[in-house]
Amino acid sequence: MVVTISREYGAAARAVSRALAPKLGYRLVDDELPHAIALRLGTSPDVVESVENRPQGFGERVLARLTAALPELSQPASSSDDISAAYRREIERLVHEAAREGDVIIVGRLANAILGARPDVVRVFLHAPLAWRIAQVCASLDVDESYARLEIARIDEARRAYAQEQYRLTWGDVRHYDMILDTARCGVAGTADVIATAVRAASARA
């Protein structure tokens, strides 16, 4: 089985996935993906992370739509365009490789969209109230509330835009997930327990 975990920023997805992995005995794929892609592309993990977590500017969105409608207006790709296209190719390749191995938890990277309607995938989306997420970000990054609020808004919007632009997927829409859980309501350990129970049930039916 494969578990994909999508999340709002600050919803403790990494803590949940790290608690879930030993419960299932699954391999966790998370932090190593940006490093693996950066190595192949000859850039830094920070640059790789920025592709998914940096919202496209208004001008970039308009140009992309015009180019799609009128190919004759297209210009040579910029370095950021090149990195974005290369990022998507590499992340899709790595996600499919991990899924083929099975018994894996993949955090983020639009893995639920990349893997499509495979019957061996349990797709999870984690969310939490904004105040709870702000507290989580403040504690993990040692920043004040105003900075945490801005960072949450920035990254959530970037993920929403990336999902729509690259996969025509409405990020957080219930139709794209098997489970949507409130981490604040269940707690990190409780959320991991709920997911583990669902994965075991899905595995038994497979």
Q: What is the pTM for the complete model shown?
A: 0.80
> Which pLDDT score is estimated for 31?
65
> pLDDT tens for residues 9-30?
999 999 999 999 999 999 998 7
| Sequence-ordered list of residues with C-beta below 8 angstroms from that of 90, at least 6 positions apart, any chain | 36, 37, 40, 41
**Per-residue 3-state assignment (H helix, E strand, C coil) for the chain:** CEEEEEECCCCCHHHHHHHHHHHHCCEEECCHHHHHHHHHHCCCHHHHHHHHHCCCCHHHHHHHHHHHHCHHHCCCCCHHHHHHHHHHHHHHHHHHHHHHHCCEEEECCCHHHHHCCCCCEEEEEEECCHHHHHHHHHHHHCCCHHHHHHHHHHHHHHHHHHHHHHHCCCCCCHHHCCEEEEHHHHHHHHHHHHHHHHHHHHHHHC
> pLDDT tens for residues 144-188?
999 999 999 999 999 999 899 889 999 999 999 999 999 999 999
The single-letter code of the amino acid at 178 is D
> Which pLDDT score is estimated for 34?
59
Q: What domains can you pick out in the chain, each with its CATH number?
A: 2-205 (3.40.50.300)
